[in-house]
Every structure is written in C-alpha cells, then in structure tokens.
Amino acid sequence: MTFVDFLFDYQTLRIVWWGLLGVLLIAFAATDGFDMGVGALLPFAARTDIERRVAINTIGPVWEGNQVWFVLGGGSIFAAWPALYALSFSGFYLAMFLILAAMILRPVGFKYRSKRPDPAWRARWDWALFIGGAVPALIFGVAIGNTLQGVPFHLTAELRPVYEGNLFGLLNPLALYCGLVSLSMIVMHGAAWLAFKADGIVSQRAKAFGGRAAIATAVLFAGGGALVWAGLLGGYRVTSEIVWDGPSNPLLKTVVADPAAWLANFQAWPLLWIVPALGIAAPLAAWLGFRGGREGLTFLASKLGVVCIVATVGLAMFPVLLPSSTNPDHSLTVFDASSSRATLRNMLIATAIFLPLILAYTAWVYRVLWGKVSEKSVEDAGHSAY
C-alpha cells in the first residue's frame, strides 16, 4: 500500500477530516476567539472613546480574516460532514439564530462606529460589539455542552433528521455551565490579546480582567472535567463493531449511553491526558503572565489553553460527533456521518493546497501589522483607523 493509497483510504480520510474539523474549530476559537473576547471586554477594559478606539483598532485589521475560520468551518462541515451540518444547525435552530444575529453586528459595528463622532452613536455600537463578542462565546459553549450530553433527535428511514427538543431544552444548567467555561476562556483570550497589542491603560485593565478570567477558565474547565468524571455530562459508546469504510448511514450501528464513555479514550491512550492537563495548566500560566510576565508569552499561554480546551472535547467524544439522547443508535459518528470517499478526497486535496497558503499570507499580514496600538497611533491615523 503506497502512501497515497493509505491517505485516500476511506478510513484515513474520515479520521483526517475529523482532525481537520478540529483544526478549523480550534483555529476559529484561537483567532476569532480573541476578537470576541475584545468585544466582550470592550465596555469594561476601555472606558473613554479613545480607549475604546485603541481596543477596537487592535483587532480592526485582522478580525475579518479571523472570522473566516467560522465561515470556513460551516462550509467544511457541510462538505465533509453533511449530516452533522444538517442536524446541528436545524436542531440548534434558535440558538444558531442568536449567534448569527450577534455576529452580524460585528462587521457593521467595526466599520460604522467610527463614521460619526456622536457619543450616543458610538455607545450603541459599543454595545453591539459587546453582544457580538459575548453572546456567541456563551452560546458556542452551550452548544458544546448539549453535544456532550446528547441531543434529542432521530433519523427517519430516508435519513431525514428530526429534532425533538426546543431552545429551552438547550439552555439546561449543565449546558449553561459549559457556556461559562467558553465565555471565561474567550474573555481570557481577548484580554491576553489586548494586553499584548494595546498600549497604556487599556493594556493594564486587560491584564486585571485577564487574570480573573484565566483563573475562572482553569477552575471551570477542571470543574467540567469533574462533571464528566461524575458521569453528569453525557457519555455515549459504540457497541457494535465499527466499520471504518462502511456507508455513511447512521442507522447501521448500535450506541448506548454510558457515563464513563467520555473518559474511555484517555484511559486507552494515557498520553492524551496531556491535552486536558494543559487545558488547566496553560490558563494558570496565563494567569501568572497577566500578573507580570511577558505579554507575548501570556498570549501564547492563553492560546495554548484555548487549543487544549477545545481539543479535549473532541478527543473525549471520538469517534462520536453528535450523540442522540433519545435514539442513541442514530448518533452521528466519524465512521457513518461523513461525505463520500470521493468528496473527502477532493476536499483534502483542496485543503492541502490552500490551507498552507492561508497560513502563510495570514502570518504575513500579522507581521505587517506588528506593534502596539496606542492612543497616539490611533489619533495619528485619523480616518484610516476605526
């Protein structure tokens, strides 16, 4: 078997695309995450107009590119995991609407706020940017919480997804807890970015908020681990034999709810414990950084924390993608909810070409924009700044 044969084997493709799904979600959390965190911190870390302009201009030139990780995540789930795309967005319908409505406020908020000097106008857009940052950060976590617990749905014989829950079912206490983990993580990350990229008082305040958020992230995430340990945050186990190159039909296997299932991967491969451990340790390191460490390193620690926290969820659930609480056998998994082999292969080729290019030009853009944003630099830039 040559390498290409191995790479384009259906099993390999499915696992690679599971990894790429993780890469996209993690890249979204690690890049647009700090944009959302800056939005969530905007009313608090920056008080006067010029302070807020400093905060906004730290992300002004880059947030748009960062947000594409979200759009690309949506497109890639559609292409590689169509069943997941169909079920999750129609199932989390009103939650998804809230996320979209909040995120719609961001592009216009960034662009339109500086168009008029009127303080009332600017104050309104500040709230829009706050909502655009805080609301998605919370709801994404709530969605993850529901995914861990299992979602009430079934599939008909023609694989039509039928969701049985409602918005209020989504907002259960355990899911809201996961929302808090997500929100504190995003605030930590936004604060780390502001501390690194802004100058003066905004940076100082960001460090104060960031320290608290980092501690909250480490504690809440560890608490989430305890909930999983106690069997409260779901757990689903595939009980039939996994056919890795079988057809993408979720009705052909059996799955049971098993409170211990989300720990099974870590028990089978103890090396994986490093990931959740770093999910606690990295925010603690960021906390130390906020108290007087180097700003660049603090940001990296925060980023590592975000990566490991998101990755922990994926590793815990593998090979399950979206478990069904009412019909566990219908759960979507890596081996029965993907696109066809041909589509996974075509998309892998496209990704192999374009993802390195994206990383290269994004890195170049960040390099061009290197340096702190200060009140002076914003004032000097005049109308070409936000």
| Segment 2 to 21, residues that bind other proteins, using CB under 8 A | none
Longest dimension (CA), the chain: 68
Site string for other proteins, 272-301 (x = CB under 8 A): ------------------------------
Nearer to other proteins, 52 or 207 (CB): 52
Distance of CA 218 to the CA centre of its chain: 17
Among 249, 260, 273, 274, binds other proteins (CB under 8 A): 249
The backbone torsions φ and ψ at residue 151, rounded to the nearest 5 degrees and listed phi first, read -120, 140
Query: Which residue, 344, 325, 317, is CA-closest to 22?
Result: 317
Compute the C-alpha angle 235/240/241, nearest 5°: 115
Closest to other proteins by CB, 204 or 249? 249
Residues in region 140-199 near other proteins by CB under 8 A: 157-163
Residue 381 interacting with other proteins (CB under 8 A): yes
Instruction: Output the smallest distance, CB 133 to other proteins, in A.
Output: 15
* Residue bearing tokens 């799904």: 21
DSSP 8-state symbol, 231: T
The strand pair at 153-155 and 161-163 is best described as antiparallel
The span from the CA of 113 to the CA of 115, in Å, is 6
Question: Which of 184, 248, 312, 333 is close enough to bind other proteins by CB under 8 A?
Answer: 248
Q: Which stretch binds other proteins (CB under 8 A): 1-9, 111-119, 188-196, 199-207?
A: 111-119
Q: From the CB of 69, what's the least distance to other proteins, in Å?
A: 9
Q: Map the footprint of other proteins across residues 225-244, applying CB under 8 A.
A: none
Dihedral in degrees, nearest 10, Cα atoms 21, 24, 29, 35: -150
Shortest spacing between CB 61 and other proteins, in angstroms: 3
Q: Taking a C-beta distance cutoff of 8 angstroms, is the pair 30, 189 a contact?
A: yes
Residue in 13, 16, 21, 87 binding other proteins, rule: CB under 8 A: 87
Q: Which is nearer to other proteins, 50 or 72 (CB)?
A: 72
Beta carbon of residue 369, minimum distance to other proteins (angstroms, whole number): 7
The answer to the question of residue 111 lying near other proteins (CB under 8 A) is: yes
Return phi, psi of residue 236, to 5°: -135, 140
Of 26, 257, 42, 41, residue with least CA distance to 140 = 26
Q: Is 85 in the site for other proteins (CB under 8 A)?
A: yes
End-to-end alpha carbon distance in the chain:
56
312 counts as binding other proteins under rule CB under 8 A:
no
Min CB(135)–other proteins separation in Å: 13
The residue type of 242 is I
Query: In the beta sheet, which residues pair with residue 163?
Result: 153
- Least Å distance between CB 110 and other proteins? 7
By CB under 8 A, the count of residues binding other proteins is 74
Give min distance, CB of 36 to other proteins, in A. Answer: 14
120 lies in the site for other proteins, by CB under 8 A = no
Binding-site member from 64, 199, 258, 375 for other proteins (CB under 8 A): 64
CA pair distance 328, 324, nearest whole angstrom: 5
Q: Which of 112, 232, 284, 375 touches other proteins by CB under 8 A?
A: 112
CB 112 within 8 A of CB 129: no
- Cβ–Cβ under 8 Å, residues 282 and 302: yes
Q: Scanning residues 90 to 109, which ones bind other proteins (CB under 8 A)?
A: 90, 93-94, 96-97, 100-101, 103-108
Q: Which of residues 355-374 bind other proteins (CB under 8 A)?
A: 355, 358, 361-362, 365, 368-369
User: Is residue 213 a contact partner of residue 194, using CB atoms and an 8 Å limit?
Assistant: no
Looking at beta carbons only, is 48 or 346 nearer to other proteins?
346
Structure tokens belonging to residue 369: 């924009």
**33 makes contact with other proteins (CB under 8 A):** no
The minimum distance between CB 205 and other proteins, in angstroms, equals 24
For the bound state, the minimum distance from the C-beta of residue 174 to other proteins, rounded and expressed in Å, comes to: 24
Contact call for residues 233 and 220 (beta carbons, < 8 A): no
